[in-house]
Amino acid sequence: MHLEWGTVVKTLNWTFIANLINFAILLYLLKRFLYKPALDYLDRRRERIASQMEAARKSEEKAEELATAREQELSAAREQANRTLEDARARAEEIVGDSKGTARQEAERIIADAKRQIEQEREQMKEDLRRSYAEIAVLGASRVLSREVKREDHERLLNELLSEVDDDALRMRQ
């Protein structure tokens, strides 16, 4: 079976050839009007998705940076608050210590004033006691000198004088 081109062409069906030509034209048109725009659309979509993914990744990184910065700020604020509290505690202790020292000094001053006042009152009492003894002595001497004294009168006057001196001395000590 040896076929020649002429016999092959004769045996070919013209309908088949027309179908092949139509198919080729259809492929060309599909490629030009459908396939290329579809590929372009898919490429643009792929690029848009990639850019959105990149933007999302950048947003995540920015969010992480912000969270880290916020955490650092919170940590710094906590440290500052702790330092402020420690400073306040130290200042309060210092104020309490100063107040105690001032109160101690004031108490010592009051005690010293009280001791000084007591000493002055004691000196005043001694002076009053001396005056009283002198008055009693003068009174006793004036009584003795104002009348003639017998031995019994003399003893009685001395006993009275001693009892008055003892009473006055006791009153002064109290």
- Residue 164 placed within a domain: yes
142 within domain boundaries: yes
Residue 25 lies in a domain: no
- The average confidence (pLDDT) of the chain is 82
Please tell me the predicted confidence (pLDDT) of residue 86. 92
| Sign for the pseudo-dihedral over CA of 59, 61, 66, 71 | positive
| Distance in angstroms (rounded) separating the CA atoms of residues 135 and 165 | 10
Q: Please tell me the least confidently modeled range out of 21-30, 66-75, 100-109, 151-160.
A: 151-160
Q: Within a domain: residue 20?
A: no
Q: Among 64, 60, 59, which Cα is nearest to 72's?
A: 64
Domain assignment present for residue 49? The answer is yes
Q: Per residue in 9-28, is it b (16+ CB within 10 Å) or e — as a string? A: eeeeeeeeeeeeeeeeeeee
Output the pLDDT for position 35: 87
Instruction: Indicate the range of 48-52, 65-69, 116-120, 133-137 predicted with least confidence.
Output: 133-137
The 3-state secondary structure of 11-25 reads HCCHHHHHHHHHHHH
Neighbours of 144 (CB within 10 A): 15
So what's the pLDDT on residue 83?
A: 93
Whether residue 140 lies inside any domain: the answer is yes
Q: Is the pLDDT of residue 172 over 80?
A: no
Radius of gyration of the chain (CA): 65
> What's the pLDDT at 74?
92
pTM: 0.39
Distance set, CA 87 to CA 36, 79, 93 (Å): 75, 12, 10
Contact at 8 Å (CB) between 172 and 125?
A: yes
Residue 67 pLDDT exceeds 70: yes
- What local confidence, expressed as pLDDT, does residue 165 receive? 67
Q: How many domains does the chain have?
A: 1
22 assigned to some structural domain: no
pLDDT at 53 over 90: yes
Compute the distance between CA of residue 51 and CA of residue 45 in angstroms, rounded to an integer: 10
State the pLDDT at residue 135: 74
Say if 71 falls within a structural domain: yes
What percent of the chain is predicted at pLDDT more than 90? Answer: 40
Distance CA 140, CA 154 (A): 10
How far is CA 152 from its chain centroid?
A: 92
Which tens digit of pLDDT belongs to each residue from 79-135? Answer: 999 999 999 999 989 998 888 888 889 889 999 999 999 999 988 888 888 777 767
Q: Say which residue, 48 or 141, is predicted with more confidence.
A: 48
**H/E segment holding residue 130:** helix 36-146
Domain range for 126: 39-173
